[in-house]
Amino acid sequence: MPPRLTPSSYAVLALLHLKPWTGYELTRQAQRSLRYAWPRSERLLYSEPKKLVELGYATVHQEDSGNRTRNVYTITGEGRQALNEWTTTRTEPPRFEVEALLRLLFADHGSREDALRALDEFEDDIGAHHQAIVELMGSYLDGGHPFPQRTHLSVLFATFQIDMFKTIERWIEFARAEIDEWPTTKDLGMTPRTETLTRFLAEDHSPVIP
């Protein structure tokens, strides 16, 4: 496997395989297509193409753009080979980062209202992402996919996103109802309700999804 490449490197390499991009265009496209599977900062997305150039997996040239020049990155043959080899390697374990869940885990340092507010904010953010995917799928029906030959991949990916968002939204509703029944966030321990939920989970049943 090629040295020193991360999943972020391969994601940028895959975008370069579609067409040449400027650093700005890469960032815009990554925010549009990658943020639900591999979110990364703008700084990282700007640095990855430079690393690919250093490794010989991409080239860069400057072109005029009004009163300034901009760098345009293009994949090389070595880059295409590295991208193909990446698809055969073991994937990294998934990571799921949600601050609202972290707040819930340590909700005994705050109030019920604090925990419920974190859930409200989580719901708002998920709802916005959910609506964005719904609208994006609608645009595909109108021929709005920028790479129509890849529509089957984007749509299959979107089925995971929509199912994930719906599951999260159901869980938020469930969690809000549970917290509403707590007298406090502190020192409740193994209540009868908590024992019931624990038995559900220990038997691999979901109390949220029938």
Could you report the per-residue pLDDT of 132-166, keeping only the tens digit for each?
Answer: 999 999 999 999 999 999 999 999 999 999 999 99
List, in order, residues 6 or more apart from 7 with CB less than 8 Å away: 38, 92
Q: What is the pLDDT of residue 10?
A: 92
For residue 86, the Cα-to-chain-centroid distance in whole angstroms is 20
pLDDT class of 69 with cuts at 50, 70, 90: confident
Burial class (CB in 10 A: 0-12, 13-18, 19+), 93: exposed
Quote the pTM value.
0.86
> With 50 as the cut, is the pLDDT of residue 1 above it?
no
- The CA distance from 97 to 74, in Å, is 32
DSSP string, 10-48: HHHHHHHHH--EEHHHHHHHHHHHTTTTS---HHHHHHH
Name the strand (E) or helix (H) holding 159: helix 151-180
Mean pLDDT along residues 99-125: 96
- The CA distance from 208 to 186, in Å, is 23
> With 80 as the cut, is the pLDDT of residue 196 above it?
yes
Q: Token pair of 135, please?
A: 């609208």
pLDDT class of 190 with cuts at 50, 70, 90: very high
Percent with pLDDT over 90 in the chain: 75
Give tens-digit pLDDT for 15-58. Answer: 999 999 998 888 888 877 887 778 776 666 778 899 999 999 99
Mean pLDDT along residues 59-82: 91
Q: How does the average pLDDT of the chain come out, rounded?
A: 91
Give tens-digit pLDDT for 71-91. Answer: 999 999 999 999 999 999 999
Q: Token pair of 28, please?
A: 């815009």
Q: State which amino acid sits at residue 126.
A: I
Contact between residue 40 and residue 30 where contact means Cβ atoms under 8 Å apart: yes
Strand-pair partners of 69:
64
Q: State which amino acid sits at residue 170.
A: R
What fold does the segment set 7-86 form as a domain?
A: Arc Repressor Mutant, subunit A (1.10.10)
Ranges of each domain in the chain: 7-86, 99-202
Beta-strand (E) ranges in the chain? 21-22, 58-65, 68-75
